[in-house]
């Protein structure tokens, strides 16, 4: 009997089609208003998987739009009670539930400080949605499994659409149109070779760079949530600044490789990890073998029509694998013992 997590992951291609067909005007209108506001800074406010999605937005928006994006710590307002000056700033809140008190308080503070507020939500009829200047839906529908899957992927798609509209990037817009078909293929990718190297108590690194750091962060979180595996996410640069000390002697690393300017430096990091004894599994959307080494193994990947969208395909394939891994450990990924679907923090 399939889990909720598996069934919700399998919904992703259809949900992507619906979002990109039915909400085109909503995203274009919000992007137009964002351009008119002419922000000097964007701040993201999020927790958990939504914060991982915010990491994707940060890198892709800075790369495409040339405007800085930073993560705003909710505790600055919700715990320390500080008001910030946010003139010419956009505050983007990302949340599945829209109900966490710290996010609500931070968005209210941002509006008081002069920011334009945008909320990207799965549930629009919530305090966060009702108080935002502009609201966008991720269109994931009800998500019952505790571990977020479709809501995270749909957040990435929504954010890519917003960025493409803001920058009027026709190549990215066109590639989004073909993304649902890519996701159909991604859900058929077989990562059994990687799954069978992992056992209860395994520790590993998950590595990405630029927009790919987002899916590394998300994958590391899912290992913890669903499989009780200690996984840590790093950029392919940061992993060489200390963490590599733990990586010898058969240590495992999962690397999300990109077809962008980060590719060469990430391949160099893969080579260095392999040299010190790490077993490296690489998810590479490019067709050529980037590096041949006895400790490097490639996992199948469905490439998107734009490099910025490859990560969405990569994480979709990962979700299929990690759900199977949890089941092989005798764990229920739908109901981790210490977690709730909606977490309200201050």
Mean pLDDT (whole number) for 7-28 = 94
pLDDT band at 216 (very low <50, low <70, confident <90, very high): very high
pLDDT band at 346 (very low <50, low <70, confident <90, very high): low
pLDDT band at 15 (very low <50, low <70, confident <90, very high): very high
pLDDT digits (tens, 9 = 90+) for 96-111: 888 899 999 999 999 9
pLDDT band at 343 (very low <50, low <70, confident <90, very high): low
Q: Are 306 and 279 in contact (CB under 8 A)?
A: no
pLDDT band at 91 (very low <50, low <70, confident <90, very high): very high
Counting beta carbons within 10 angstroms of the beta carbon of residue 125, is it exposed (0 to 12), middle (13 to 18) or buried (19 or more)?
A: exposed
pLDDT at 296 over 90: yes
Domains 4-168 and 186-328 share a fold: yes
> Which of 38 and 340 is assigned the larger pLDDT?
38
The C-alpha angle with vertex 317 and arms to 316 and 320, in degrees rounded to 5, equals 95
Separation CA 150–CA 319 (nearest Å): 10
pLDDT band at 22 (very low <50, low <70, confident <90, very high): confident
pLDDT digits (tens, 9 = 90+) for 139-186: 999 999 989 999 999 999 999 999 999 999 999 999 999 999 999 999
Identify the weakest region by mean pLDDT among 293-297, 317-321, 339-343. 339-343
Q: Hey, how many other C-beta atoms are within 10 angstroms of the C-beta on 193?
A: 12
CATH number belonging to domain 4-168: 3.40.50.10490
pLDDT digits (tens, 9 = 90+) for 274-288: 999 999 999 999 977
Residues in CB range of 160: below 8 A, 6 or more apart: 56, 60, 172, 176, 308, 309, 312
Q: Are 1 and 330 in contact (CB under 8 A)?
A: no
pLDDT digits (tens, 9 = 90+) for 37-52: 999 999 999 999 999 9
Separation CA 72–CA 203 (nearest Å): 30
Instruction: State the CATH class of domain 186-328.
Output: alpha beta
Identify the weakest region by mean pLDDT among 14-18, 126-130, 182-186. 126-130
Task: Delimit the domains of the chain by residue range.
Answer: 4-168, 186-328
pLDDT band at 339 (very low <50, low <70, confident <90, very high): low
Identify the weakest region by mean pLDDT among 112-116, 256-260, 329-333. 329-333
pLDDT digits (tens, 9 = 90+) for 44-81: 999 999 999 999 999 999 999 999 999 999 999 999 99
pLDDT for res 293: 86
Strand partners, 145: none
């Amino acid at each position: 009997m399939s889990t909720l997590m598996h069934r919700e992951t399998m919904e992703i291609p259809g949900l992507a089609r619906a979002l990109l067909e039915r909400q085109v005007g909503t995203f274009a209108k919000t992007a137009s208003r964002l351009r008119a506001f002419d922000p000097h800074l964007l701040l993201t406010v999020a927790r958990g998987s939504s914060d991982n999605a915010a990491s994707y937005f940060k890198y892709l928006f800075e790369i495409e739009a040339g405007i800085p994006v930073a993560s705003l710590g909710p505790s600055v307002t919700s715990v320390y009670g500080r008001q910030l000056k946010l003139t010419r700033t956009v505050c983007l809140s990302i949340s599945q539930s829209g109900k966490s008190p710290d996010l609500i308080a931070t968005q209210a503070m941002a509006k008081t400080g002069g920011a334009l507020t945008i909320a990207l939500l799965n549930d629009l009829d919530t305090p966060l949605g009702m108080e935002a200047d502009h609201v966008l839906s991720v269109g994931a529908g009800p998500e019952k499994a505790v571990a977020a899957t479709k809501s995270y992927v749909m957040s990435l798609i929504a954010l890519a659409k917003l960025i493409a509209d803001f920058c009027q990037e026709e190549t990215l817009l066109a590639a989004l149109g073909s993304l649902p078909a890519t996701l159909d293929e991604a859900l058929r990718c077989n990562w059994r070779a990687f799954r069978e190297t992992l056992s209860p108590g395994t520790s590993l690194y998950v590595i990405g760079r630029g927009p790919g750091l987002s899916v590394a962060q998300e994958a590391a979180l899912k290992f913890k949530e669903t499989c009780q595996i200690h996984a840590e996410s790093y950029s392919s640069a940061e992993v060489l600044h200390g963490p590599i000390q733990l990586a010898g002697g058969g240590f495992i690393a999962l690397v999300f490789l990109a077809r962008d300017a980060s590719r060469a430096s990430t391949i160099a990091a893969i080579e260095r990890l392999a040299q010190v004894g790490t077993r490296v599994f690489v998810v590479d959307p490019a067709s050529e073998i980037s590096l041949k080494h006895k400790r490097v193994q490639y996992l199948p990947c469905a490439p998107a029509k734009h490099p910025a969208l490859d990560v969405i395909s990569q994480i979709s394939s990962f979700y299929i694998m990690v759900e199977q891994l949890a089941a092989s450990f005798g764990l229920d990924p739908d109901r981790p013992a210490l977690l709730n679907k909606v977490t309200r923090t201050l």
